[in-house]
Amino acid sequence: MEVSGRRVRRFRMRFRHSAGNYGGSVLPIRSGHAGGENPDAVISCCYCDYKISMFNEPIYRLGRRFSRVMKVWFSVGLGLGVASLVLVSVLLLLQFHPNAVSDRLLAAVFGLSPSTRVSPSGIVHVFISTVISVLVHELGHALAAASEGIQMEYIAVFMAAIFPGGLVAFDHDVLEALPRFNTLRVYCAGIWHNAVFCAVCALTLFLLPVILSPFYIHGDSPMVLDVPSTSPLFGYLSAGEVIVSLDGIRVHNPKEWLELAALLDKYNSERSNSSLGRFHHRKGYCVPLSLIEKGYKVEMTGNLFVCPGDLSAFVPMPCLRETTSSHDKNGKDDQPIRGKSMICLDAKDIVKLNKCGDGWVTSDTDEISCICSQGESCLHPVESPGVSWTEITYRSTSPNCSRIGGSISLVVNTSKNSPEHDCLGSFVFVGDLIATAHSVHLTSYQPRRVFSFGIRLPDILERSLICTFHVSLALVLLNSLPVYYLDGESILETSLEYLGWSSSRRRKKALQVCLIGGTFLSASAFFRIFVLGYL
């Protein structure tokens, strides 16, 4: 709530109180009316605004018509506004504690972290969300004042530096003539409306799958929205394709995609460290002997190996089960194969084969199971330290299953929940799995009918609701701060007057001390979050 009226009324005979966000007193250099009385626009070096009065009568009539209901509504908001002021003040005082959570809490409220990167589309979301949240805030002040019989003089939308905002102006004499409890209702109304708006955004986000269910499938598999050219998966996945599984484990949404990538990376690291150079805990494939004989064999030279073209290196996985002969339980003798050199094979052919070994997360035993069918041998890919070998299976909705890059396995999908002629493709990713998982943009929604813009609509709605939630919640905390020119100043002053605390002189002195301290602590908190947190 911007309270430039406090400064203005010291020099003018006509008093006016302004309720808004971020504002301050400015000197108008251009006016839409002669004499500068109630100008249409105000412009200064870092500030400009535009005043609107066409909504004065409709808002006033609405507030007076439902006056009783609104007074009860804003009385509840009064409690939240005062509680928010107390909570924010406590967080400011605790910010210097070694184990304080205030910095992390405030960073979470703003939806920011040191790793946050704001895209151009994200800036648009923030700007629109800010405008909507500010309008909701100011509508709360206007309706609360109207329910008390006070008509606003105008609504102003402004730009202070790069921050949009708004304010509503009232006759200060009329506002101050109200009982202190009624005045508090008006001051707390903006915070209350922003808090309710947060709850509306959260509820809508929760019900979004149900709302969009006639047009979209939710939670079946994540759909690719975008693969940046810098992503290792660029050329292997494209927009509109659906990720089915990682290493044969089904993925249902983007959150599971990230969690499973972290799990597989951790699992592979632990298995690799526990192996101590032996062929324990490896991912293997049952490769036919005929395919092995056609493979390109390369001799190891120290720790270096080379495979031609796009081929990958595989080595036989020794069976550690006790046997009475050189023959395994399938009757084949794989000792000659184990003794042979490394074999270079085409990974896109290998990933279609049956799996063996206990390096897969889905393995139920800690022992190596290298048993394959007769005429096959269990081979595992050669992995470098810190590098994961991961199978990614996806589904293409393209009618002709055309792809650019990657390896494709055409399969007729008979699932009732999927199109009849979907195509399943598989490729192997070798590298940093966690970083790669974060490099693609996914959504939990799949359109029931294929149309280009439709795949992005749920994501736009989700991001808008999340952004608006954070911005509206940020306005709740910002306007609750015991800082000059915000709602917190008016709420604190009026609360002290309502409680009849001490004499008028002592109240003013206590208010001044609280505001100076609150301004200093708030500046310190923002510096710690937005400056030190990003260094």
Catalytic residues: 138
Backbone angles phi, psi at 521, to 5 degrees: -65, -35
Q: Please choose, from the candidates 238, 87, 58, 250, the residue with its C-alpha nearest in 3D space to the C-alpha of residue 146.
A: 58
Tell me the sheet residues that pair with 170.
17
Contact 281, 460 (CB under 8 A): no
Contact 143, 70 (CB under 8 A): yes
Question: What SS3 class is residue 459?
Answer: helix
Backbone angles phi, psi at 286, to 5 degrees: -80, 100
Question: What SS3 class is residue 453?
Answer: helix
Q: Please choose, from the candidates 207, 226, 208, 240, the residue with its C-alpha nearest in 3D space to the C-alpha of residue 455.
A: 240
The tokens of 512 are what?
């001044």
CA 431, chain centre distance (Å): 25
The tokens of 2 are what?
């911007």
Question: What SS3 class is residue 247?
Answer: coil
CA-to-CA dists, residue 381 to 174, 365, 378, 430, angstroms: 81, 20, 10, 10
CA-to-CA dists, residue 134 to 48, 460, 506, angstroms: 16, 21, 34
Q: How far apart are CA 85 and CA 70, in angstroms?
A: 22
Contact 429, 436 (CB under 8 A): yes
